Structures are given as structure tokens and as C-alpha cells.
Structure 1
Amino acid sequence: MGVLVVGSKSIQTDDEGYLVNFSDWSKEVAEAIAKQEGIEQLTDRHWVVIEFMQKEFKEHGTGPSMRKLTKESGVSTKELYELFPKGPAKKAAKIAGIKKPVGCV
């Protein structure tokens, strides 16, 4: 278990840095996680992906597969890798405050 400190709030994370409780997520938390992941600023395109990830999580209890993410979010595979280098589904899920997608190693 880990702890992410955002402002005066301490937030529990698992060993890989994913939030333990989705209810702890906020835009400030997302920005803090993004910085830890090497993304200095979240753009409107990042938020498109983050919001899609959260929508899928709320509806299905898990994040979308890469295939579904690229087919239904309006963001191409190439752009996903530009926005979230070195593992876009994992990074986007972490920043969105949801669990690690099934099938991600």
C-alpha cells in the first residue's frame, strides 16, 4: 500500500499507485498522478480519455480495453501513445482513478 498526498489530503493507493477508493479521485488528484507519470499538464484531449475511462468503469466495473478505447473514445492509438507514453491504458486508468485494466501487465 502507498499514500498519495494532494494538498492536505492523504490518499491510499495500491502497490502500483492505483487509487484504492475511486471516491478519493478529483481533478487535483488526477493532475498529481499525471505529474508522477511524467505528464506535466493534462490537456483537453487527456480529459477526453480520462472521462471515457471513468464512464466505462462506472458502467462496467472495469476500464475499457485498448481496442474499445481507440474505437469509441475518438482518440486514435497513435494519439493515445502521444498523450500517455509507454502504456496508455494503464496510465490513463491510473490518472482516471480506476483500477488497472484487465489484461495489462
Structure 2
Amino acid sequence: MSKTVRAGSLLFLAGQTSSGAPHARTIEEQASEALARIDALLEQAGSSKQQVLSVTIYLKDIALFDRMNAVWQGWIDPEHLPARCTVQATLGLPELLVEFSVIAAA
């Protein structure tokens, strides 16, 4: 599976999570780590969070929304807000609390 796919002027980032390591247990830690991974992937592809067009956020428990959203608001550029959807979902590993799927301009 590719972490990033380019199609014309669009980048599609596969669902990004924290590493699931013991040091990233809270929703805040996991969201911060996943967003840092997104920053790195966007930079490698010649893009940035200012060019993010759409994000789908998957939460293990929707009760974590406000805490995750506080991290999101600290990360995203308020001058370049993407379309966004947040849903509750069963994630691939039981220790994961959040996953981000991103579409950005290249």
C-alpha cells in the first residue's frame, strides 16, 4: 500500500495514525503524532497543510471528538481550512484512537 499517491495535481494520503507506541496513548498524543506524519508526507511530496483540500477523521470513540478537535485546531492553518468529516469507526489496531485520511493539492 502506498502512503502517498499523486494523480495529476492531487495527493492522496493513506490513513495516517500514530505509531501505536506506548508513549502515544492519549488521543492528544496520537492525533499530534499522526498530524506530524501528515506534515512530513506532504513536505516530501512538495505540498503543505495549507494545500489540504479534504480530510476524513476516523475516531475509535466519538466521545473523543472535542479532545481530538483541540489538537486539530492547533495544527491546521485557520486561513486554509479544508472540507472535513469526522466519523466513529473501528480502527486497524485496538490501541489506535484516531486515523486521518487526506487529499491535498500537489
User: TM-score by structure 2 length?
Assistant: 0.33
User: TM-score by structure 1 length?
Assistant: 0.33
Answer 1 or 2: which has greater helix percent.
Answer: 1
Q: Which has the higher contact order (CA 8 A, sep 6+)?
A: 2
